[in-house]
Structure formats: C-alpha cells, structure tokens
Chains A and B, each alone.
Chain A
Amino acid sequence: MAEMWLNMGPQHPMTHGLWNLRVKVDGETMTEAEPVIGYLHRGWEKITENRKFTQIIPMADRLCYGASMSWSHLYCLTMENLMEVEVPERAKWIRTIVLEAQRIGSHLMWLAALGTDLGSYTVFLYPVRERELFLDLMQNLCGARMTYNYPRIGGVRNDVPANFERDFTRVLNHFEKRLTDYEALCDQSTIFRMRMEDVGYLSAEKAKNLGVTGPNLRGSGVDYDVRRDDPYEMYDQVDWKVCVEKTCDAYARYRVKMDEMRESCNIIRQCIKRMKPGAIRVKPPRTAPKGKTGWAHVEDPRGEGFMYVIGNGDDRPYRLKVRSPIFVTVSAAPEMLVGYKIADVPAIMGSVDMCLGETDR
C-alpha cells in the first residue's frame, strides 16, 4: 500500500500543548515518525539575560505551567549552587512538601488528559476534581492557583499559613481514598488495559541512550531517581521508595505515575511530622561573580530538570541554560511510535505526559 505522511497537530486533540507529530503510515501502521516542536518557543534563555535574578523566578514558573513550583524551585536551587547559599532547614522541609504536592497536581492533570485521550471522560472529571483540592492548598500557601512565585533564592517567600498541617492531612486522607477509585476506574477497565498494554515499547537500553528520564525511564525498568541518587532538599531524610515497572510499555509508565502519587503522599506526611519552627529564608548576595558557573538537577514530575547558569558580575545571568525532560522525551517519540497503529498514538503520547512550555522554552 502507498505510504503517506500524516500531520497530527498543531491543533489536534491528541497534542496536549502545541506541537506537531508527523507520522508516515503504511495502511494503519506507522513506519516513521517525526515530532515538530517550536510552536511555543519564546527565547526564554535569551530573555533571562535581560532580567534580574529575582525577576526570573516568576518567569521560571511559566516554563512548565503544569508543574510551575518544580521549575521555580529548580531555578532557585541553581542560583543557590552558584552563590553558595545554604538554605535554612525549615525552608527545605516546606520546599519538599510543596514539590511533592506539585508532583501530585501535575500527575493528576496528566491523568485527566490521558482520560480524555482514551475517550474516558470520567477519568478526566475525577482527577480534575481532586486537583482543585491541591490547588486550594497551594493557594492558601502562596495566593495563586497555578503560577506560584513561591520559592526564593535562599529559602521560600513566606511561612506556612495557619492550619497548614491539618489541611494537608485532610486532603491527603481524602485523596488516597480517591486514588484507589482512579485505579479501579483505569486498571479494571478492559478498554483502558487493551489500549495501554503492549503499546509504546521502549527498552531500558534505548531509554537510557535516548535520554528519556523520570517516570518514563522508570517505566522502562531503570531504577534511577534524582531525588534518591543525587538528593536535594530533604529527600535523603525521609523514608520512601522509587517506583519502577518492568514492562516498558505505556501501561508501565501509567503505573509508575500512579504509584508516585502514593509515594508523594507518604513523603508529605513525613515532612509535615518532622517540620520544626525556624527561619525560612536567608539573604542571598545580590550579584554573582563573573564567569562563575553553577548547575543543579532535580526530579521534575516529567523527568530530570536541569539548569546551568553563568554569572556576569552583576545581578543578571550571563547565560541560563535549561534542560527540559520532555524536550528529550519527545525526540525519543519515534522509537516508541514506529511499528504501532495510528490509533495508538494518543495512548503512547498520552502516557509520556507532554508539556510543551518547557520543551520549547
């Protein structure tokens, strides 16, 4: 049969965010795939060279709007490495809590998007409902629903509000019950299993070589998590486990993310218990030395986020390089797609949790 190129995007219900997947199909089987990105490129790294260090924090929020806390935290962590600032202990505990809450929120948004992709509208409605609870918690903490502007270089902006522990515990208690509901909705649905299982195979060697990170890497059976293997904040102080699945398919990636949400609840509970009163912020230097470099990497909800910064002698960076996890995962998309049917695209690309704001920067 004659082969043809098929465009999926930029406006396509499968693309969460804005990108274009060009696939070559032979009948219904994909023989080649080529992601086209850049529809959201605004030169983030160049713009930051014209901004002061503190002005970059809200911009870092808008790198990935699904997990904005994670990115502004990564920026602050990088700057702390550059300026050699030590963060107070309480600020570290608070950061760990909000990062994990952000991870849950981000994974819930991913699950909702996956639900609409697979035609299961209930799986959209339930996670969005519970996501609102986490957004409420964040709103109590920092006043915004999505773009928080909360971490600061050398700490966090403000201390936790009254009844912070109580609210978090209530929401987590409620959420963990709901998580069982989602698993019942998805895992026990024959249609869901049929669409997710045995599609999008990505072997461990390929995943490592192609630079796939985060839940997608752990779905391929590689036991690596930046939180455990290169710990930042308080992840080495709490007791938790890295979720790994061995089956390497879209369903494994889904399972890893679901398990991670439960682990995040576990981490938050421990952090709330062990948090002690104290300072939340130290004053960082206003300028960074010229030519000095610093970098940090964290476990973003989508993979390994990384920033590399060079000081300029004044209060602006000379260069700020961002490594986005999905940028690399999209480049590995052909490896996952080729050989499967065109109808598997939403399941495969839905399982990797796309976020194009950070990809295009």
Chain B
Amino acid sequence: MDLRLAPHAVAMSSSEFLSWSGEVMDQLMKYTGAKKAVDRLTAPIWSWAIRNATVPLHFGIACCALEMAAASGPRFDAERLGMIYRSSPRQTEVLLVNGWVTAKLRPDLRRLYEQMAEPRWVIAMGECAISGGPWYDSHNTVQGVDTFIPVDVYIPGCPPRPEAMIDGFMKLHKKITKEMKGTFLND
C-alpha cells in the first residue's frame, strides 16, 4: 500500500479513493491488532449462526434415507437441532449422502454438491457412502463418496440408527465451531 498517496487524495477519482481508503483501513486494523480483536469477538457469533442453520438437502438415496426420515419423525425429532430438510440444493448447507453411489448417480451428485452455496459440508452416512460397504465388488458402485467430493463427517453403521445420525450432526457442529468459519475480516 502506498500511504504517500495521502496528499493527493483530494485529486483522486471516486473509485480510486474507495480502494485506497479501504486498504488504509485494512492495514491500520491489521497493524494495530484491532482486526484480531474483532475476529476473536465475532467468530463465535458467526459460527454459532452457521452451525444453527446447517440445513441438509432432502435427498434420499437408499436404506439410510429411511433412518433420515425416522430421525425427523416424532421420536427423535431432529428438527429441534436445526435439521430441517430443504429440497433445493441452493438453500442448503449440508449434503447428506445416505446410500451407495453408482456410476450413473455420480455426475448428478457432483453437480448437486457444486450447486450448493458456500460454506457447505458433506456427511457420508452408512457404510456404502463411506467405502462401498457390502457392494465392494460391484461393477457399478463407487467405492466411497470421498473419491469425488470432500467429506467432513463419516457416520458408520449399516444403516446407522437415527441417534447416530443426530450425533453425526453434533460432530459437524463441533467441527464448525472449531473451524471458526466466519472470521469477520478475512485476509
């Protein structure tokens, strides 16, 4: 940054002035330590907000989809923990892969993942999504969803019980808290 431009600030065009002043503020906050302070203060707020809106995509693939449905039923009531399913990938943060992924599904799943807005997470639920599971020698099954999209949380089980699925979401919440995703003034 060129602070020597300060005397000429009056003669700048408006866009030049905006970018210059923005940079000045940035540098000031960085060198005085104000930035760190603001980050420390706001990151918990942001991550709290993000982890309370981890909306999973309403996308049932196989057996685990029934446990997903059971989890949102009255006994387990996952809605109280913020797991409200939305049907459009644009509105969701969590891709819950709950079943085996086949060669025919793979491009569609990849596309769904790319349609989701950042920040986004992927949960691999059940053995099939983790590693291919019982279909390890199939000619058409992808051996694990992490071969083509990054996975954040693995929930083992065949199929996992709804409690396990809710626990997986709690683990994801912890991960979001640790990551401090939403630092206010990012470099």
Binding site for B on A (CB under 8 A): 10-13, 16-18, 38-43, 46-47, 50, 58-59, 62, 65-66, 109, 112-113, 124-125, 128-129, 131-132, 135, 145-147, 356-357
Q: How far is the CB of A111 from chain B (nearest CB, A)?
A: 12
- Could you show 23 A-B contacts with beta carbons less than 8 Å apart? A10-B105, A12-B87, A18-B99, A38-B104, A39-B105, A40-B100, A42-B102, A42-B141, A43-B135, A43-B141, A47-B137, A62-B134, A112-B69, A125-B73, A125-B74, A128-B74, A129-B74, A132-B75, A135-B70, A145-B70, A145-B161, A356-B62, A357-B62
- Is A40's CB under 8 angstroms from B89's CB? no
B side interface size, CB within 8 A: 34
Q: How far is the CB of B151 from chain A (nearest CB, A)?
A: 18
Query: Taking chain B's interface residues, is the majority helix, strand, or loop, or is none over half, making it mixed?
Result: loop
**Stretch of B4-12, B53-61, B167-175 at the chain-chain interface:** B53-61
Q: How far is the CB of A251 from chain B (nearest CB, A)?
A: 24
Residue in B69, B75, B108, B112 whose beta carbon sits within 8 Å of that of A129 in the complex? B75
Does B93 lie at the interface of the complex (its beta carbon under 8 Å from any beta carbon of A)? no
Q: How far is the CB of B53 from chain A (nearest CB, A)?
A: 20
Q: A13 — nearest CB in chain B belongs to which residue?
A: B87
Residue in B57, B63, B161 whose beta carbon sits within 8 Å of that of A357 in the complex? B63
Does B182 lie at the interface of the complex (its beta carbon under 8 Å from any beta carbon of A)? no
Assuming the contacts A41-B104, A125-B74, A132-B73, asked whether A16 and B141 have C-beta atoms less than 8 A apart, the reply is no
- Note all chain B residues with C-beta closer than 8 A to A10: 105, 108
Q: B136 — nearest CB in chain A belongs to which residue?
A: A47
- Is A128's CB under 8 angstroms from B73's CB? yes
B91-133 contacts to A (CB < 8 Å): 99-100, 102, 104-105, 108, 112
CA distance A135 to B65 in the complex (A): 16
- Is A43's CB under 8 angstroms from B139's CB? yes
- Note all chain B residues with C-beta closer than 8 A to A58: 134
Does B159 lie at the interface of the complex (its beta carbon under 8 Å from any beta carbon of A)? yes
CA distance A42 to B63 in the complex (A): 14
Q: A360 — nearest CB in chain B belongs to which residue?
A: B102
